[in-house]
Amino acid sequence: MQLTRIAAGLVLGLGMACAAMAQTTMKISISTAQNSHQGIAIDTFAKEVEKRTSGRYKVQTFYNGALGGERESIEAVQLGTQELAFSSSGPIPNFVPETKILDVPFLFRDKAHARAVLDGPIGQDLLAKFDAKGFKALAWAENGFRHMTNSKRDIKAPEDLKGLKMRTMENPVHIAAYKGFGIITTPMAFPEVFTALQQGTVDGQENPLSVIISAKFDQVQKHLSLTGHVYSPAIFVMNKASFDKLSAADKQAFVDAAKEGTKANRARVDEDDAKGVADLRAKGVTVIDSLDKTKFVNALTTVNAQFEKDFGKANLDKIRAVQ
């Protein structure tokens, strides 16, 4: 009797230990290197999820497009073959069209403005739009203000862009705008960009300093212009069904972990922006840092009129008015 009770106790104890150890592993991916503003975002997220769920959830991190480009990873998250992804806004409007408005050129004054919009009611309402498309959008993060690089010439004025063949993201708003500049647009997934630049399939590309540096584009691009023509948000997305399976406390843990990831990510973008130009100059890149931005804005007058029609001037003004 005594022995049976001890044995039963042992079995129970063992069972409880197993339950406590039961671990669910999930995957998250980025298209840039681990040593980048996106790498630090997902590394921080993974660490925080593990900590905040006492190790019951583990997040495996994949870099450099190891699981595919951004569009492919968003697709995988929607299908549920991959639980999580961190992506720039590039391919996002193809899944959640309401987010297109964020990709309008020269919409945000600076990073503080963009962050205030994303963290405020406008950004939070947009996060909620992902639900109906099979996603849980955990938090906005940042890719940064995009600048143009190329292998042909210094871009000092919008006329210099005419006839330049540039890789763009698979983003309809960007493509329309760059066509407005007279650029020959070539949409392409990020993992293919370095080779395309190297082989001269395209003359140039545009990305934030954080991406230009971490992707080592200085090895294949000698001209950089700080056009800051568009702000590029990034986002933590999760498969909706995977999120819905979590307990209320774990849901909060995932959301909070993403917010921590965003903090680390934005701090790194600030760091890259502060030292990026000097770094790239030291590597032999010619950097044009004194552009007359109004000329670039004016070159997009026709395109902007179309955007005002498509997205509603009132909606754009609402974003512009955020302090």
Q: Which residues contact ligand EAX (rule: CB under 6 A)?
A: 31-32, 70, 88, 90, 143, 169, 190, 207, 211, 232
Neighbour count for residue 235 (Cβ, 10 Å): 29
Query: Which is nearest to 91 in space by CA: 115, 73, 66, 113?
Result: 73
> How would you label 43-62 residue by residue, b for 16+ Cβ within 10 Å and e otherwise?
bbbbbbbbebbeebbebebb
The pair of structure tokens assigned to 301 is: 């007058």
**228/205 Cα distance (integer angstroms):** 13
Nearer to ligand EAX, 32 or 262 (CB): 32
Q: How far is the CB of 244 from ligand EAX (least distance, A)?
A: 27
**108/12 Cα distance (integer angstroms):** 59
Nearer to ligand EAX, 169 or 303 (CB): 169
Residue 159 sits at the vertex; the CA angle it makes with 155 and 161, to the nearest 5 degrees, is 55
Nearer to ligand EAX, 214 or 304 (CB): 214
Identity at 267, one-letter amino acid code: A
Q: How far is the CB of 21 from ligand EAX (least distance, A)?
A: 35
Q: How far is the CB of 205 from ligand EAX (least distance, A)?
A: 7
Nearer to ligand EAX, 68 or 180 (CB): 68
Nearer to ligand EAX, 78 or 171 (CB): 171
Residue 6: phi and psi, rounded to 5, are: -65, -45
Beta strands in 159-308 (DSSP E): 165-168, 184-187, 204-207, 223-239, 286-288
Q: How far is the CB of 89 from ligand EAX (least distance, A)?
A: 9
Q: How far is the CB of 72 from ligand EAX (least distance, A)?
A: 12
The pair of structure tokens assigned to 269 is: 């973008």
**323/321 Cα distance (integer angstroms):** 6
Nearer to ligand EAX, 46 or 322 (CB): 46
Q: How far is the CB of 192 from ligand EAX (least distance, A)?
A: 10
